[in-house]
Structure 1
């Protein structure tokens, strides 16, 4: 509806002085570049997005269950409920991409309307996501992954509810920052070989951690045929279970191309078993 469209801000109107201040915060953040912005998007618009999680149909979702992550995500290229799609239309727009370039210093950012790795994310009670480094390259466009933008949709969230986004240092291997996933909070997070992150504190039973995520890319930094490009890389740390350590070892010794093939085959077989007869 037209009045709903007007609820989203025009990011071209953010003043140059504010953009410079945000860029300074981004570039000096530790343990790697990131920004935390509250109320970047209007609460009323985000509440409509939150309602879409309850209204989404089963075919919108893909379950990911392993020792390293337990969550539900919207599948790439899948239709989204209307308010969620409206959010991504804004985030993938020219004004927002220009805003991101201004506050991060990364020129010519390219959105991904297919939302590979992004979309609607939901973690139920008991769920976690081990510390990891995101994929370096989009598997179809071969563009270089440079930024993740995450907006949280969790009203009345407390520390006891768990699910803090943890940003980790690799040397020494320790947590460098923790971000509570409260409603209306947006995290703009640089993507690189040192951008290790996850949420290790289990979600409290009866609560659900919800977010919407989009990735942004650039062209020309990585060779399409490079053999050392990596998918998502998990980080070994003290306190992991035997199952988690075993999964990490399998991922370590399996070539990325073969690992991707195994994942695709597993997902295809899972879909066959779920298909009604």
Structure 2
């Protein structure tokens, strides 16, 4: 299926559940607005997407104190279905209905896949608590929504690799959203949207299709520019101190170099920009 056909299925599912998802978003047990939608695509199609994922060695390993995961954004290197499903979530109909659900006017999808694309996490891999970078790659638009579509069949919550929201900071327990097969999770991103992915505790890979939406205005009046800002998990006190110092250093550099010391490589560099 191409992106238009996939987008039609996604839109119909979102539209059918729109009022329920609105209530879910508005009544989130968190100051981080969110909703999730199950059975987004026919099961067979979701399995096809999972099977199209590359092997880990064909992706980029991001491994540091901040995170440990495999990512990819240069989608023309991989199975065409992966590019089609990513951009299906950028279809105008899908973007508009998600904007309605989240009460965000004119959300703007990111064709450059800045920090988007696909990701995989295997045993012991993780993503520490963090705030996403506040802007797009050119620092013109505000990042407002994070879309995560999970495609690993039979992924149990106890396997880890689940989205964690920390609305009350690291002193309180997070809200855990299971990275269930064929589930779409949408969450707000702003200066208080601390989130993480729990360490994987299973000999297998949790696969995810990621997108971000942007806006000309931030979600919160208090929002200010910030780099991706990591913290250590509550049980890792030393890591937390190191990561806060790391964020301070990178913020200082961004005050001097507005677009960073070097270009972030995690973007989709297309031969044809209109592709």
Tell me the TM-score normalised to structure 1 length.
Answer: 0.81
Match of 2:244 among 248, 261, 272: 248
Give, in whole Å, the separation in 2 of the partners of 1:74 and 1:105. Answer: 30
**1:148-180: per-residue Cα shift (whole Å, max 9, x none)?**
110111211123311221111235732341011
User: Once the 2 structures are TM-superposed, how far is the Cα of residue 248 of structure 1 from its aligned partner?
Assistant: 2.7
Partner of 1:148: 146
How many aligned residue pairs are there? 259
Q: 1:73 to 1:172 in 2, by over 3 A?
A: closer
> Which consecutive residues of structure 2, in runs of 5 or more, have no partner in the other structure?
267-275
Partner of 1:274: none
User: Once the 2 structures are TM-superposed, how far is the Cα of residue 48 of structure 1 from its aligned partner?
Assistant: 1.8
Structure 2 residue 235 is matched with structure 1 residue 239: yes
Partner of 1:23: 22
Partner of 2:210: 213
> Which consecutive residues of structure 1, in runs of 5 or more, have no partner in the other structure?
269-277
Partner of 1:100: 98
- Structure 2 residue matching 1:54: 3-state secondary structure: coil
Within 5 A, what are the aligned runs for 1:114-263? 114-140=112-138, 142-170=140-168, 173-200=171-198, 202-221=199-218, 228-240=224-236, 242-254=238-250, 255-257=252-254, 261=260
Give, in whole Å, the separation in 2 of the partners of 1:163 and 1:15. Answer: 25
Tell me the TM-score normalised to structure 2 length.
Answer: 0.81
Asked if the contact 2:135/2:143 (under 8 Å) is kept, the reply is yes
Partner of 1:273: none
Q: 1:65 to 1:80 in 2, by over 3 A?
A: same
Q: CA RMSD in A?
A: 3.1
**1:58-114: per-residue Cα shift (whole Å, max 9, x none)?**
3xx222110120011113676542111110221110110111111111011111111
**1:247-274: per-residue Cα shift (whole Å, max 9, x none)?**
3322224415169746759x79xxxxxx
- Structure 2 residue matching 1:239: 3-state secondary structure: coil
Structure 2 residue 38 is matched with structure 1 residue 38: yes
- Structure 2 residue matching 1:189: 3-state secondary structure: strand
The 10-residue stretch of structure 1 (73-82 or 27-36) with the greater mean CA deviation from structure 2: 73-82
Give, in whole Å, the separation in 2 of the partners of 1:41 and 1:17. Answer: 13
Give, in whole Å, the separation in 2 of the partners of 1:159 and 1:11. Answer: 24
Give, in whole Å, the separation in 2 of the partners of 1:127 and 1:16. Answer: 35
Partner of 1:53: 53
User: Once the 2 structures are TM-superposed, how far is the Cα of residue 221 of structure 1 from its aligned partner?
Assistant: 4.2
Asked if the contact 1:166/1:175 (under 8 Å) is kept, the reply is no
Flag the structure with larger Rg.
1
- Structure 2 residue matching 1:95: 3-state secondary structure: helix
